[in-house]
């Protein structure tokens, strides 16, 4: 007859009998079981704390990115430097790889591209303010963010985000993010925060840089 199998570390019939016959051994066995349960609980707690620490570190990094973006835009000496900084922020922080920055003309009817990156961004031409691509953002003065994309979805027809560029109290332009890299299903909360920051600061940074470089351009137009 094949020998009976016991779980490694578990009590055998002989050891169980020994435990029953010796109260001290029974107490030790119970204490070991209690300690094993406590160790498992502490391991779960440590894992939860590690996750919270990682989230806190990510938040600190995100806030540092926002602070760095503020400093970079405010320190630019001319329009070209602002647009280069804006492109770098969108590419390296947000992860956008296809976008266009548009400036509203002084008549308030047409938006003209002043920076285009990627297939759609580089090919984007002038747009009327009534164009569906930008109209909602211009009318509301708020960022328009598309929902997440599921795996296997067809390429979306609407942009990932449309961001009004504000120079209070005027809306003077728009940023349109057409697509994200394939591995990104949607914008992260920090990406949306950064786009909202750019909505309120990017246009002013361009105008301020124009004044610094004495190019003679006057607000509220970015052209």
The enclosing domain of 88 has a CATH number of 3.30.450.40
Portion of the chain with pLDDT greater than 90, in percent: 37
Question: 74-130, pLDDT tens digit by residue?
Answer: 888 888 999 999 999 899 888 899 999 999 998 899 999 999 999 999 999 999 999
Distance CA 26, CA 34 (A): 12
Number of domains, the chain: 2
Q: Do 90 and 121 reside in the same domain of the chain?
A: yes
Q: Do 88 and 177 reside in the same domain of the chain?
A: yes
Average pLDDT rounded to a whole number, residues 183-209: 89
pLDDT at 178 exceeding the cut of 50: yes
Q: Do 34 and 44 reside in the same domain of the chain?
A: yes
pTM of the model: 0.69
pLDDT at 138 exceeding the cut of 90: yes
Lowest mean pLDDT among 28-37, 84-93, 106-115, 164-173: 28-37
Q: Do 49 and 84 reside in the same domain of the chain?
A: no
Cis-peptide into 220, omega within 30 deg: yes
Q: Do 108 and 200 reside in the same domain of the chain?
A: yes
pLDDT mean across residues, the chain: 82
Q: Do 182 and 103 reside in the same domain of the chain?
A: yes
Q: Do 207 and 177 reside in the same domain of the chain?
A: yes
Domain region containing 39: 16-75
Question: In this predicted model, which residue has the larger pLDDT, 54 or 188?
Answer: 188
pLDDT at 10 exceeding the cut of 80: no
Q: Tell me, yes or no, whether 149 lies in a domain.
A: yes
Per-residue confidence (pLDDT) for residue 154, from 0 to 100: 47
Of the residues 59, 75, 91, the one at which a domain ends: 75
Per-residue confidence (pLDDT) for residue 155, from 0 to 100: 52
Q: Are 212 and 78 in contact (CB under 8 A)?
A: yes
Q: Do 41 and 123 reside in the same domain of the chain?
A: no
Backbone φ and ψ of 102, nearest 5°: -115, 145
Q: Tell me, yes or no, whether 193 lies in a domain.
A: yes
Per-residue confidence (pLDDT) for residue 199, from 0 to 100: 94
Q: Do 64 and 145 reside in the same domain of the chain?
A: no
Backbone φ and ψ of 146, nearest 5°: -75, 155
What's the pLDDT band for 8 if we cut at 50, 70, 90?
Answer: low
Query: CA 143 → CA 32, 109, 170, distances in Å?
Result: 58, 20, 15
């Amino acid at each position: 007859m094949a020998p009976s199998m016991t779980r490694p570390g578990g009590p055998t019939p002989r050891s169980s009998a020994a435990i029953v016959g010796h109260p001290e051994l029974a107490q030790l066995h119970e204490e070991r079981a209690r300690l094993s349960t406590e160790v498992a609980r502490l391991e779960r707690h440590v894992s939860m704390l590690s996750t919270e620490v990682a989230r806190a570190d990510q938040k600190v990094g995100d806030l540092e990115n926002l602070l760095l973006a503020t400093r970079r835009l405010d320190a630019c000496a001319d329009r070209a430097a602002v647009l280069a900084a804006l492109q770098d922020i969108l590419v390296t922080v947000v992860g956008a790889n296809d976008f266009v920055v548009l400036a509203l003309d002084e008549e308030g009817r047409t938006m003209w591209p002043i920076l285009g990156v990627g297939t759609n961004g580089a090919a984007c031409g002038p747009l009327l303010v009534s164009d569906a691509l930008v109209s909602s953002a211009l009318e509301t003065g708020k960022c328009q963010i598309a929902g997440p994309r599921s795996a296997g979805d067809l390429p979306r027809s609407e942009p990932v985000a449309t961001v009004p560029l504000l120079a209070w109290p005027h809306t003077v332009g728009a940023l349109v993010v057409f697509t994200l890299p394939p591995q990104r299903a949607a914008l992260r909360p920090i990406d949306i925060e950064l786009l909202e920051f750019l909505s309120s600061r990017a246009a002013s940074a361009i105008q301020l840089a124009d004044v610094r470089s004495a190019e003679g351009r006057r607000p509220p137009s970015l052209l």
